[in-house]
């Protein structure tokens, strides 16, 4: 009579919870990609009801997905205002890459000489996908480049390191989409190949140095171009000054 599995109790609740978590993860990933690919622009409002309606799910799941994105630095949650796509400044962008460089050198040191055959093949196949989209799809190139680093982090099997790398890579992917000047994605894929080769050879020092150099190059490509001006006052200020000169004011 007190059996928790009686009358449909117990297992159905567990199954329901599993489906809920899975649905949250799916919505989280879809929103993440929309942000990184800048389909959702920096500063855009993200209403829970609209997200729930779009994905055919509840506001609770939408709220949980937004909370995860906030932890990753892709969304800002503002009291009494709601959720907005993050809009990191250039200073914040520099700081993000500084932290990322340190974390990912550690990842390289952890993995050198310890990749399984399966892991090597997975990483090589990933690099080939990066090469295939190079020069054809900038958003996909950015996504795949970030995923390469996430795969490396997961291979360490160190939960705290995986968490921190995931957060900073997600934020840097948004920064790349916002600020990066046009460049050949072949550069990133080639650098990934070199890192992979050092990991396979078991040269921890070289792998860490290549990772640091690679992220320096990524940051250099990313942080040179400010985003387009959107404040109408700033856009029109030169025209107003020109008018004042013409009018002799």
Domains 13-85 and 90-222 share a fold: no
Q: Residue 114: its pLDDT value, please?
A: 97
Q: Residue 101: its pLDDT value, please?
A: 95
Torsion over CA of 228, 231, 232 and 233, rounded to 10 degrees?
-120
Question: What residues does each domain of the chain span?
Answer: 13-85, 90-222
Q: Residue 15: its pLDDT value, please?
A: 42
The sign of the dihedral angle between the CA atoms of 222, 161, 130, 39 is negative
What DSSP designation does 227 have?
P
Is the separation of the CB atoms in 175 and 96 below 8 Å? Answer: yes
Tokens of 161: 């390191």
Q: Residue 237: its pLDDT value, please?
A: 75
Q: Residue 181: its pLDDT value, please?
A: 63
Neighbours of 217 (CB within 10 A): 14
**Nearest by Cα to 173 from 36, 61, 43, 65:** 36
pLDDT tens string, the chain, 249 residues long: the values are: 444 434 444 444 444 444 445 888 889 989 988 888 778 888 999 999 999 999 998 999 999 999 999 988 899 999 989 999 999 988 888 899 999 999 999 999 999 999 999 999 999 999 999 988 877 777 788 788 889 999 999 999 999 999 999 999 988 888 887 877 655 455 688 999 999 999 999 999 999 999 999 999 888 876 545 555 556 667 667 777 776 777 676
Is the separation of the CB atoms in 43 and 178 below 8 Å? Answer: no
61: helix, strand or coil = helix
CATH architecture of 13-85: Orthogonal Bundle (1.10)
Q: Residue 179: its pLDDT value, please?
A: 79
Options 3.40.50.300, 1.20.1260.10, 3.30.470.30, 1.20.120.530; CATH for 90-222 is 1.20.120.530
């Amino acid at each position: 009579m007190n059996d928790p599995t009686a009358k449909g109790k117990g297992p159905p609740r567990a199954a329901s919870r599993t489906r809920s978590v899975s649905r949250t993860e799916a919505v989280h990933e879809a929103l993440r990609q929309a942000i990184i690919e800048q389909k959702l622009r920096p500063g855009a409002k993200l209403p829970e009801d609209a997200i729930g309606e779009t994905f055919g799910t509840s506001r609770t799941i939408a709220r949980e997905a937004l909370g995860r994105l906030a932890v990753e630095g892709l969304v800002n949650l503002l009291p009494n205002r709601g959720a907005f796509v993050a809009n990191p400044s250039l200073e914040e962008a520099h700081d993000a890459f500084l932290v990322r460089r340190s974390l990912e050198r550690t990842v390289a040191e952890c993995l050198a000489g310890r990749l399984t055959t399966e892991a090597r093949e997975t990483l090589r196949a990933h690099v080939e996908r990066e090469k295939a989209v190079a020069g054809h799809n900038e958003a996909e190139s950015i996504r795949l480049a970030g995923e390469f680093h996430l795969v490396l982090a997961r291979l360490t099997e160190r939960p705290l390191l995986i968490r921190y790398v995931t957060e900073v890579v997600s934020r840097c992917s948004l920064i790349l989409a916002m600020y990066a000047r046009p460049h050949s994605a072949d550069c990133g894929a080639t650098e990934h190949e070199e890192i992979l080769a050092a990991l396979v050879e078991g040269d921890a020092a070289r792998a860490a140095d290549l990772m640091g150099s690679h992220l320096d190059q990524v940051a250099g490509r990313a942080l040179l171009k400010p985003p387009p001006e959107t404040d109408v006052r700033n856009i029109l200020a030169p025209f107003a000054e020109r008018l004042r000169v013409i009018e002799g004011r």
